[in-house]
Copies of this chain bind each other. A is one copy, B any other.
Amino acid sequence: MFQVHPSPVAAPFATSWQTRYQAVRAQSQALCAPLLPEDTVVQPMLDVSPPKWHLAHTTWFWETFLLKEYVPGYQVFHPEYAFLFNSYYNSLGSRVNRADRGTLSRPALADVLAYRAHVDEALTALLAAPEALPPVFFELLELGLQHEQQHQELLATDIKYILSTSPLAPAYLRNELKVKSEELTGAISEAATDFNSSLLTFNSNKASWLPVPGGIHRIGFQEEGFCFDNELAAHDVLLAPFELQNRLVTNADYLAFMEAGGYRDFRFWMGEGWDLAQAEGWEAPLYWVKKEAGWYRFTHHGLQAVNLAAPVTHVSFYEADAYANWAGARLPTEAEWETAARHFGPATENGTWLESSCFDPQPVPGDADPTQCHQLLGDCWEWTYSAYHAYPGYARAAGALGEYNGKFMVNQLVLRGGSCATPESHIRVSYRNFFHADKRWQFTGIRLARSSNG
């Protein structure tokens, strides 16, 4: 049996499971509400799946792992959907080539929404009588909710990429009150620069190094509630003393690297990163565009002047690592990161997460405490210099769910902390996200570390 959580999941009242299920499901659709049907179909690069596909795939997950197992005589919505919406489970048969997801106009968005309604109806009915269901059902239920939330983050970042490919730079969030945001329709206000200048004082001057003691530390999931199998089991690691910067690298910091020729000096780069950056002509993070008035970047709010005090984001590991080398520092390992996050405590968490709910990580306030560690959780996924490998004692689950995490445990790097696009319940100190070193379309950022006395 797939152990998705170390302790029994509390499910005291039927209504609470039902309510939570409905809320999560509704959130996926809410994320797509600002989209046109056209936006839900395309796949402008391999990593980006059509929103329509995300809506259907998450539904297929419920159908496959819960309804077909626990509803006697359950009729699947459509016999071809298992082929169409299986993501990567070899256990569950053949499927559409990943690169072809964006070539399929049908089933249409309306069909997918009908599919969602069909499955939601069945699951809601099932959850009306939870006492009849075995404990393992609730483990799968929890996994299904977490899975759907993972796809919510992908929806946010995939939608951003999809909208960015148009020269029209359409905004996803049009009506939001964001004082300093503006769409680039002709003239650009000078406010952006002023805005940046005021905040810059804090950020440039007060970036501080916070010491973390060495010794044996315990990392991995140690709390109550849900975690993924890849966070298990908690185990001890030995660390030398080190220091971590008290905030993320800002756009101003990164611009200094750019202006110092960081993209043209191979000495700071991993070889494979350098070759890729040359081949792709990288000169700035993803989404950055140089205009006469300065640097802009595409956001969920359309094209915006770069906020110098905000954390740099949409950088690959290669860029994060090159920046760190240029800055005379390094990236933390995941053990260092988690140790520091546990060391500096959960108070930090509250400070930033709510600010980031606009899909745009915000600067540390100018009056923030320089002895505190900011932006650890819910701002940017922070690249670590740790390969995404199995923890000691890790074992793949039996059955199809054994393919959920384990088969990816090579050739990728761990990212920590969660981003402004991560659902709140996905943000915890032990969470291990992972991407290949070249990926830039997530809200990935940089935090510097350095060895003490090093």
Contacts and interface: CB of A to CB of B under 8 A. Distances in A.
Contact of A317 (B80, B168, B321, B410): B410
Nearest to A96: B167
Contact of A271 (B42, B270, B321, B408): B408
Nearest to A217: B238
Contacts of A103: 42-45, 102, 165
A420 to B, nearest CB: 23
A387 interface: yes
Contacts of A170: 106
B270 A410 contact: yes
A194 to B, nearest CB: 29
A393 B272 contact: no
A44, A88, A267, A386: most-surrounded residue (chain B CB, <10 A) = A267
A52 B80 contact: no
Interface in A376-405: 385-387, 389-390, 392-393, 396, 402-403
Main SS of the interface on chain A? mixed
A32 interface: no
Interface string A212-256: 000010000000000000000001111010000000000000000
Contacts of A83: 167
Contact of A410 (B39, B42, B272, B389): B272
Given A88-B271, A90-B274, A238 B237 contact: yes
Interface string A57-80: 000000000000000000000101
A36 interface: yes
Given A168-B106, A408-B271, A41 B44 contact: no
A90 B268 CA distance: 12
Contacts of A43: 103
Interface string A256-279: 000000000011011111100000
Contacts of A317: 410
B410 A104 contact: no
A163 interface: yes
Contacts of A88: 271
A286 to B, nearest CB: 15
Interface string A409-434: 11101000000000000000000000
A236 B451 CA distance: 15
Given A272-B410, A402-B267, A105 B42 contact: yes
Contact of A37 (B38, B166, B266, B271): B38
Contact of A240 (B107, B168, B267, B392): B392
B167 A80 contact: yes
A387 to B, nearest CB: 3
A308 interface: no
Interface string A77-120: 01010011000101100000000101111111110000000000
Given A165-B103, A216-B238, A238-B236, A36 B407 contact: no
Shortest 5 CB-CB contacts between residues of A and residues of B: A387-B387, A238-B238, A44-B103, A271-B407, A37-B37
27 contacts: A36-B108, A36-B110, A38-B38, A38-B40, A39-B108, A41-B41, A45-B103, A78-B168, A83-B167, A90-B267, A90-B274, A102-B102, A105-B162, A105-B163, A106-B163, A107-B168, A267-B402, A269-B407, A270-B409, A270-B410, A273-B410, A385-B390, A386-B387, A386-B389, A393-B454, A410-B413, A411-B411
Interface of A: 36-45, 52, 78, 80, 83-84, 88, 90-91, 100, 102-110, 162-163, 165-168, 170, 216, 235-238, 240, 266-267, 269-274, 317, 321, 325, 385-387, 389-390, 392-393, 396, 402-403, 407-411, 413, 437, 451, 454
Given A216-B238, A387-B389, 14 more contacts: A36-B37, A36-B108, A36-B110, A42-B105, A105-B166, A106-B163, A106-B168, A237-B238, A238-B238, A270-B407, A321-B410, A386-B387, A386-B389, A411-B437
